[in-house]
């Protein structure tokens, strides 16, 4: 049985040496009401970086020398729990361990017949929920409006764009390579794509792609890309601030264009979005996402890395944008 | 009859030479349905600075070589209008002229018996409406929460703080002199005041004054003061972004601490507030403000400058914080 612990709080960009692998060969024994789980798929996500710092946030930080946890799909390999049986697959927040014991609290049974197991970490998991609820609850889209998505080829971004199209928006994606921009248009149906790595004047490029201005900005990245969007917003624009991957690794406090004058001038709204505040809406959202998936209106893209030992590197690769769509590790 | 025109679009801080005085002695003749108005009180407000730039905003910019306008209380000195008579006082958006003709459109009759005329430019005008509706509509205060107000000794800020106290909040005001801070506590009933000009570590000072963290920030200033508040916000904090006087005169685009990571971590909201979007709520708000005023629960403070020729200087003095409370010019 292997476990991955957080060894150091990363300074800036995380490295593999911030994590420690521990092996333990004594067999795990379950008691009444418990399950023995074998990890099948591990989700690695940008938000985990925030939890590696020792700062106040919406969830407590990871503890040093304790296992890291994230969303995981695991198989029940022994059960003394009345609800779950051997061979069931469960999804939930679990430790980065090859095997672990759980009392089932906070876990949900998933159906491997209905959708691939990994999709419960992606389009039918927090990724899809974040995209759908962030866009609808804060973005409040109205048909005909213009939506800009940053990190558009990422897990959440690619779903946001597709939902935007389903809801009748003009959708512009910002991503970091020509290949990703091409994918946005050919695979995910975005109207326009902008490669921020090769575009000198982002402000002008957004203005060109959004001739009617920007009504909704689904922000996964923060930093200079988000600054450029500010110049193009319409009256009553809504910023869904879902992530700020571009600054998560900054050791100095990042500075940006002051947003306040733009917000005042445009009566605009900027709101931080944390999926965990919307749990009451999960069932309704999953119903809608499953329906669209079944109708073939949503496609999802995954980068699957193989092997438990590669979890830390897969996490680190997120910050280089090495993933297309959801990054998962198959054990 | 004198008129004040905008002569130049100010670069940075406005100066008196950006305005031009024009005199015209030919008498004004009114037609059927028109009024001849004599200006009594002129409101000068920070937001006018934005309209002096040639940039897209919520209202069109002032035109060069045309009269500047703002909220004014004027006396009817001749009337061919069926609604208004000689001697009536009307409030509304009017030109910076000693006398002018109007068709009455957009003007409201005010009662000099009920409240001093200048109060219709302040606590019973846009100032009071901005304070009340900004705080309630975006701030959504709940009893026991902590409110921080910047520009707290200013026209809007001093009313926001008082309403905060009426609604059961802990209220902390930020202002630019010890005298103003003293006034916040002695006259307006704030719980705490911070002088940003003599406080080295604003972040720590706010933390000390707000031991339970900041739930609502009513922001009149933007810039470094607002940055310092960011570090002290609670989960689900609301920022009412009402103004950004600290950066209105910047010629270079101001940079601040990136707000996005704070908004995400705290599921916080930041929204630009423009009073003109809330016109439907004016009657209800004015009813409440008048009631509190009559009950002696609200006091208001004015800086009254005398003389039409001093309007531009009074406006410029706002940026040095020379006003305490609402700045008005009495003609």
pLDDT, tens only, A226-250: 999 999 999 999 999 998 777 666 6
CA distances from B18 to A71, B61, B310, B312 (A): 61, 15, 13, 9
Q: Indicate the CATH number of A2-122+300-330 among 3.40.50.720, 3.30.70.660, 3.60.21.10, 3.90.180.10.
A: 3.90.180.10
Q: Distance between CA atoms of A8 and B1, rounded to whole angstroms?
A: 75
CA dist list (Å): B156 to B43, B161, B211, B275, B327: 13, 9, 25, 12, 11
Confidence of residue B305 (pLDDT cuts 50, 70, 90): very high
Cα–Cα distance for residue pair A43/A41, rounded to 1 Å: 7
By Cβ distance, the residue of A235, A258, A272 closest to B264 is A272
Asked if A244 and B261 come within 8 Å (Cβ–Cβ), the reply is yes
- Select the residue from A264, A266, A267, A276 to test the B interface by mutation, using most B Cβ atoms within 10 A: A264
Model ipTM value: 0.82
B260 with A57: Cβ contact below 8 A: no
Closest residue, chain A, to B231 (C-alpha): A56
Question: B249 or A133: which carries more pLDDT confidence?
Answer: A133
Chain A hits for B219, Cβ within 8 Å: 260
Question: Does residue B302 register a pLDDT over 80?
Answer: yes
User: Quick one: DSSP state of residue B142?
Assistant: -
Q: What does the pLDDT read at residue B58?
A: 65
pLDDT of residue B42: 97
pLDDT over 90 at B159, yes or no: yes
Q: Quick one: pLDDT at residue B141?
A: 98
Name the residue with higher pLDDT: A57 or A301: A301
The pLDDT tens digits for B199-220 are 999 999 999 999 999 999 999 9
Helix%, strand%, coil% for chain A, nearest 5: 30, 30, 40
pLDDT of A327 higher than 90: yes
Alpha-carbon distance values, A300 to A128, A189, A303, A325 (Å): 9, 12, 10, 7
B58 Cβ contact partners less than 8 Å away, ≥ 6 residues apart? A235, A265, A266, A267, B274, B276
Residues of B in contact with A258 (CB under 8 A): 222-223, 244, 247, 253-256
| Chain B residue whose CA is closest to A226 | B260
Tell me which H or E stretch contains B37.
Answer: strand B35-43
Model confidence at A320, pLDDT cuts 50, 70, 90, reads confident
Residue intervals in chain A for CATH 3.90.180.10: 2-122+300-330
Cross-chain residue pair A222–B261, CB shorter than 8 Å:
yes
Reading the block at residue A265, the tokens are 């001038």
Q: What is the CA radius of gyration of chain B?
A: 20
Residues in chain A within 8 Å Cβ distance of B277: 267
What pLDDT, on a 0 to 100 scale, did the predictor assign at position A248?
66
**What integer pLDDT is reported at residue B249 of this predicted model?**
66
- The confidence score (pLDDT) of residue A21 equals 96
Q: Running DSSP on this structure, what letter comes out for residue B137?
A: I
Distance CA A143, CA A137 (A): 15
**Residue at token pair 């409370």:** B325
Q: Is the confidence at residue A83, as pLDDT, over 70?
A: yes
Q: Does B30 touch chain A (CB under 8 A)?
A: no
Q: Which of B222, B189, B226, B195 is nearest to B301 (CA)?
A: B189
Tell me, yes or no, if A59 comes closer than 8 A to chain B by beta carbon: no
Question: Pick from B243, B255, B266: which is nearest to A264 by CB?
Answer: B243
Question: What is the tens place of the pLDDT at every residue in B76-127?
Answer: 999 999 999 999 999 999 999 999 999 999 898 998 888 899 999 999 999 9
Q: Which residues contact B252 (CB under 8 A, 6 or more apart)?
A: none
Q: What is the mean pLDDT of chain A?
A: 93
Angle between the N-to-C axes of helices A202-209 and A223-230, in degrees from 0 to 180, rounded to the nearest 10: 50
| DSSP secondary structure of A51-115 | HTSSS--SSPPPPTTSB-EEEEEEEEEEE--SS--TT-EEEEEEESBSEEEE--TT-EEE-TTTS
Q: Which of residues 179-218 of B touch A (CB under 8 A)?
A: none
* B256 in A contact zone (CB under 8 Å): yes
- Mutation choice for A interface testing from B244, B256, B257, B258 by most A CBs within 10 A: B258
Q: Is the CB of residue B257 less than 8 Å away from at least one CB of chain A?
A: yes
Q: Where in chain A is the domain with CATH 3.40.50.720?
A: 126-276
CB-CB under 8 Å, B272 with A269: yes
Is the Cβ pair A256, B258 closer than 8 Å? yes
Average pLDDT of the segment spanning A194-216: 97
End-to-end CA distance of chain A: 12
Q: Which CATH number does the domain A126-276 belong to among 3.50.50.60, 3.30.70.100, 3.30.70.20, 3.40.50.720?
A: 3.40.50.720
Rounded CA-CA distance B114/B44 in Å is 23
Helix or strand holding residue B193 (H, E):
strand B192-195
Residue with tokens 């869904």: A240
């Amino acid at each position: 049985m292997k476990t991955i612990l957080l060894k150091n709080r990363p300074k800036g960009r995380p490295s593999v040496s911030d994590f420690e692998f521990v092996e333990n060969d004594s067999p795990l024994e379950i008691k009444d009401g418990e399950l023995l789980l074998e990890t099948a798929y591990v989700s690695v996500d940008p938000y985990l970086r925030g939890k590696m710092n020792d700062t106040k946030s919406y969830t407590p930080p990871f503890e040093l020398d304790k296992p890291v946890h994230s969303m995981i799909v695991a198989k029940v390999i022994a059960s003394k729990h009345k609800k779950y049986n051997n061979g069931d697959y469960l999804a939930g927040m679990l430790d980065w361990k090859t095997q672990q014991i759980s009392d089932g609290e906070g876990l949900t049974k998933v159906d491997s017949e209905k959708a691939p197991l990994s999709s419960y970490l992606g389009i039918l998991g927090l990724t899809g929920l974040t995209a759908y609820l962030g866009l609808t609850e804060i973005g409040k889209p109205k048909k005909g409006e213009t939506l800009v998505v940053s990190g558009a080829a990422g897990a959440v971004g690619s779903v946001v764009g597709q939902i935007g199209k389903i809801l009748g928006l003009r959708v512009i994606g910002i991503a970091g390579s020509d290949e990703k921009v091409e994918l946005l248009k050919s695979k995910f149906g975005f109207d326009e794509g902008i490669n921020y790595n090769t575009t000198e004047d982002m402000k002008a490029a957004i203005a060109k792609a959004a001739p009617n201005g920007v009504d909704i900005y689904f922000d996964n990245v923060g930093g200079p890309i988000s600054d450029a969007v500010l110049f193009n917003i319409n009256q009553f624009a809504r910023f869904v601030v879902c992530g700020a991957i571009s600054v998560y690794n900054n050791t100095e406090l990042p500075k940006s264009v002051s947003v306040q004058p733009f917000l005042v001038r445009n009566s605009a709204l900027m709101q931080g979005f944390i999926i965990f505040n919307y749990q009451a809406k999960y069932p309704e959202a999953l119903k809608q996402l499953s329906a669209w998936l079944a109708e073939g209106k949503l496609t999802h893209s995954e980068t699957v890395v193989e092997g438990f030992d590669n979890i830390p590197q897969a996490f680190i690769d997120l910050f280089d944008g090495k993933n297309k769509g959801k990054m998962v590790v198959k054990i």
